[in-house]
Structure 1
Amino acid sequence: MWSRSSYSNGAGGECVECASDGENVLIGDSKRDVGPIIAISSAAWDYFIHSLAHTQSPH
């Protein structure tokens, strides 16, 4: 089941949607129902999310 960001809207919001197949996290463009999908390992996704949560914004 795909999860879409709450920032994605019908006004051209540029967001992604994600799903899991059990081993990988699948990432797609929320504006393209049929299109390329990136698959990365769940471990790599966890590392990425953890890195974002512990990175300070320069703004």
Structure 2
Amino acid sequence: MVIAIDLCNTMKPYAKVMENLCGIYDGSAGNVATGDHLCQVIAANLEYNKVVPLYC
């Protein structure tokens, strides 16, 4: 069983009013942009080729 944790963010450059907007680091542009944070946890059973989302 493999458990993968993905801490990522999404950039929302045109959003004016949304829930959970904050300053995030945009790695491609190298500056701070407006967006929100995401956290996803997925379990993968390699023996049976099955992927189960645990948390989003």
Q: TM-score, normalised by structure 1?
A: 0.31
Structure with bigger gyration radius? 2
Q: Which has the higher strand share?
A: 2
Structure of greater relative contact order (alpha carbons < 8 Å, 6+ residues apart): 2
Q: Which has the higher helix share?
A: 1
Q: TM-score, normalised by structure 2?
A: 0.32
